[in-house]
Structure 1
Amino acid sequence: MLVNHLMKQIDQFRDERNWRQFHNEKDLAISISLEASELLELFQWKSSEEVLQTNSLELKEELADVLIYSFMLASNLGCSVEEIMEEKLARNMEKYPVAESYGSKKKYTELRGEK
């Protein structure tokens, strides 16, 4: 499957450089946040359209960095990316039933009248 192939490529890249020693769970979580901030920075003071027109390469690279660090963290934790995403999507389907959430930006607690 594609996800497993990518995971192997990422691990191989890291292992060939002996970088696993630097990629503990804490530092990977920090790196995910930092890369997500760099992705977000591209949008600062601009519309989505402006960013998409002028920064598409940077946007793709920052998104790739977030995903690569996320895959590394999943690998360290022994998590199957496919499994955890499928499980999360199943939970989201329960929290956001189509009939209640279609076309709505409300959080699941608002959909059910909870606080």
Structure 2
Amino acid sequence: MNKNLDLSKITSEINSFRDDRDWKKFHTIKNLSMALSVEASELMEIFQWASYDDLSNLVAEKELAISEEIADIFIYLLLIANEANIDIETAVFNKMAKNAKKYPIDKSKSCSKKYSEL
């Protein structure tokens, strides 16, 4: 899958790209969150009409497009976190701990129900 990510290095690269183009003034959290939604929609569009049986072939055929949309999503997510001073690693581990309480293994294993329905 992924080797260890260096979020600081990636964020620094993204910020340099943005700053070299003087785009920070456009990168409000509102604009970034809207752009994130657009990019997520573009990823969904790749799979929109695919049947379950077509998914593995589609992923292979559209690997580059999928990769680019994932990168766009990740870039905007990092920019949002940076603007909001959110430590993504801490946020993820805190959310996973919260999810573990909401979805205990004994009630949620092999079950797709929402925590409120368990």
TM-based fold match above 0.5 = yes
**Which residue in the other structure is 1:105 paired with?**
112
Q: Give 1:93's aligned amino acid.
A: A
Match of 1:14 in 2: 18
Q: Which runs of 5+ in 1 are unaligned?
A: none
Structure 2, gaps ≥5 residues long: none
Aligned to 1:27: 31
Which one of 42, 45, 48 corresponds to residue 49 of structure 2? 45
Structure 2 residue matching 1:42: 3-state secondary structure: helix
Aligned residues: 111
- Please give the secondary structure, in 1, of the residue aligned with 2:22: coil
* Offset from partner CA, 1:36-95 (integer Å, 9 cap, x none): 000000001113223212100000100110111010000000111111111111111111
Kindly state the Cα deviation for residue 4 of structure 1 after the two structures are TM-superposed. Answer: 1.6
- Aligned sequence identity (%): 37
1:64 aligns with one of 52, 68, 71: 71
Aligned to 1:36, the other structure's residue is in SS state helix
Task: State the partner residue of 2:6.
Answer: 2
Q: What do you get for the CA RMSD once the two structures are aligned? A: 1.2
Q: Secondary structure at the residue paired with 1:83?
A: helix
Alignment partner of 1:76 is 2:83: yes
Deviation at residue 5 of structure 1 after TM alignment: 1.6
